[in-house]
Amino acid sequence: MRESWWERFLDGVADRGRDRLKLNASRDPVERVGKHCEALLTSVGEASGTALAREVARELEALDDAARLHLLQTLNVRFGPDREAILRAADAYRTEPSLETFLALSRAIEPPRQELFRRINRAPGGTRTLVHLRAHVLRLLPEHPELGPVDADLLHLLGSWFNPGFLRLERIDFRTPANLLEKIINYESVHAIGGWDDLRRRLQADRRCFGFFHPALPEEPLIFVEVALLDGVPTAAAPLLDPSAPVADPARAHTAVFYSINNCQYGLRGVSFGNFLIKQVISELLAEFPRLDRLVTLSPVPGLADAVRRAHDGGGPLGGQGPRRLLADHVEPLRQASGEADPLAALLQLLQQPRPDAHGEILAKPLERLTLAYLTRAREGGRLADPVARFHLANGARLEQIDAFADLSERRMAQSFGVMVNYRYVPGAVEHNHERYMADGQVVLARPLRRELRRLEQLWPPAEPART
């Protein structure tokens, strides 16, 4: 069934109900939507309620940026909690702590906009509208922190509706409906897909792609992961992405590389799917290819370049002195190649040259050491600064390998000087790694990196516990 019965039914109800609605005729869209929201909150007629919900959903989608901000501020104030009512209810509960007074206090404290959102969710496409609305809120939030409560309410409701038990895992390949593949092309943001031929290569026999779907957003992936089946752990992205690379026999692969994970719905940020997706995909892969014994990612290190540049200026999450000390072993070659005495300045200078990988021999080791420092030391607000590291480590992966000059694309050079890393999921150790990371923030490393960490700590002793 291509349109859900529910949408068809509501369309019918709303069409009949429209005439009965006394729709507001104000020419100011914010005022009009605001009035409709009030009417929706107080409606008892079901058809008129649904028609209003559909009207509100459509109006929300149609607002321009300024009007939408205005409306969100209205929602924040007009449909927020009533302080006086809360305090009265708290007093009543204090005086007589019965079930009635408790429930009255509960009701008082729930902002009316939660009920408003619930009612919008019953309109045709209402879930989609709320996901879009939250995306707007998230974009506005840095400059409009007052929208925090609206965001909190939306996140609370979406988290309940997008319960992982309601998701479907689906394999995506070249037999998948084309309209869905088109969305994969559009949503891929880690390694952009250049078109249908590029996509085709990513879906051939030695590749796998899986996504999560939710019944209320049919034909809309929530998140998807792209996997390559190879013989060894890759140290660079280009061979994985080459549309003309020969297709290998997946049955002979020992390694599965998760080389791209994409959250598709910005409005669902904070509703966590990636962990479930990776683990489920691992179990699908192991069932299909019993030979697989290495499950790794090829992941970006998005904050590395910024942290190194700020270290050069004496600050940032790494601070200025530690990083310089780390490069003690490499001062001379860096100086010779660049003419700069300060190793950080030398490194940055060489990396700004047109083909920095020409200095690969000189730069690779310093870059790896700085990356290891960044991924283990750089913390913000007590947690690791790097969001990709946080994600995989919290999922129970370990840091397996650091690959200098693994991705020479402009974007990756700007983000991390081309450095990529491999996180590895060892099925039997995932839970243990997860708990170590959750309990004390410990970054589990593969053996070679543990050796490297010891050298690092000689050069730059940890002044403080790993987790502030």
Give residues 197-236 in contact with a copy of itself (rule: CB under 8 A). 215-216, 219
* Contact (Cβ atoms closer than 8 angstroms) between residue 229 and residue 253: yes
Q: CA–CA separation, 328 vs 344, rounded Å?
A: 10
Determine which residue in the list 31, 141, 161, 333 makes contact with a copy of itself, applying CB under 8 A.
Answer: 161
Q: Is residue 253 a contact point for a copy of itself (CB under 8 A)?
A: no
Query: Closer CB to a copy of itself, residue 142 or residue 461?
Result: 142
Asked whether the beta carbons of 136 and 67 are under 8 A apart, the reply is no
Asked if 299 is an active-site residue, the reply is yes
* Pair of tokens at residue 222: 């929530």
Question: Nearer Cβ to a copy of itself, position 128 or 424?
Answer: 128
Taking the complex as a whole, how short is the minimal distance between the CB of residue 191 and a copy of itself, in angstroms?
19
Residue 468 has which token pair? 């502030």
Shortest CB 458 distance to a copy of itself, Å: 33
Q: Does 78 bind a copy of itself (CB under 8 A)?
A: no
Residues with Cβ < 8 Å from 160, sequence gap 6 or more? none
439 in contact with a copy of itself (CB under 8 A): yes
Question: Could you say whether residue 442 binds a copy of itself (CB under 8 A)?
Answer: no
Which residue type sits at 42?
Answer: T
401 or 433: CB nearest a copy of itself = 433
Our finding on whether 270 is near a copy of itself (CB under 8 A) is no
173: tokens are 């390949």
**CB 152 to a copy of itself: min, Å:** 7
Report the alpha-carbon distance of residue 209 to residue 399 in Å, rounded: 23
73 binds a copy of itself (CB under 8 A): no
Q: In this chain, which stretch among 11-19, 406-414, 443-451, 455-463 interacts with a copy of itself, using CB under 8 A?
A: 11-19
Contacts of 29-36 spanning 24+ positions with Cβ under 8 A? 29/59, 29/62, 29/63, 29/67, 30/63, 30/67, 30/70, 30/71, 30/74, 32/59, 33/59, 33/60, 33/63, 33/71, 34/71, 34/74, 34/78
Q: Which is nearer to a copy of itself, 9 or 266 (CB)?
A: 9
Question: Does residue 275 touch a copy of itself according to CB under 8 A?
Answer: yes
Determine contact, residues 191/241, Cβ cutoff 8 Å.
yes
DSSP state of 381: T
Is 392 considered catalytic here? Answer: yes
Q: Which of 36, 70, 214, 392 is catalytic?
A: 392
Binding track over 310-349 against a copy of itself, x by CB under 8 A: ----------------------------------------
CA atoms of 372 and 310, how far apart (whole Å): 17
Please give the residues from 16 up to 35 whose contact with a copy of itself meets the rule CB under 8 A. Answer: 16-17, 20
| Residue 461 in contact with a copy of itself, rule: CB under 8 A | no
Binding a copy of itself (rule: CB under 8 A), the pick from 238, 358, 414, 438 is: 438
What is the spatial distance between Cα 399 and Cα 110, in angstroms, rounded to a whole number? 43
Marked catalytic residue, from 43, 299, 338, 416: 299
Q: How far is the CB of 44 from a copy of itself (least distance, A)?
A: 5
Q: Which is nearer to a copy of itself, 46 or 231 (CB)?
A: 46
| Residues in region 88-127 near a copy of itself by CB under 8 A | 90, 93-94, 97, 99, 102-103, 105-106, 109-110, 118, 121-122, 126-127
Pairwise CA distance, residues 114 & 156, whole Å:
9
Kindly list the distances between the CA atom of residue 72 and the CA atoms of 180, 302, 322, in Å, as whole numbers in the listed order. 31, 31, 45
Q: 285 and 228 in contact (C-beta within 8 Å)?
A: no
Instruction: Kindly identify the residues of this chain, within the stretch 278-297, that bind a copy of itself according to CB under 8 A.
Output: 279-280, 283
Tokens of 63: 């607002």
Measured at the CA of 79, the angle between CA 162 and CA 266, to 5 degrees, comes to 35
The CA distance from 392 to 396, in Å, is 6
Is residue 181 near a copy of itself by the rule CB under 8 A?
A: yes
- Residues marked active site are found at 299, 392
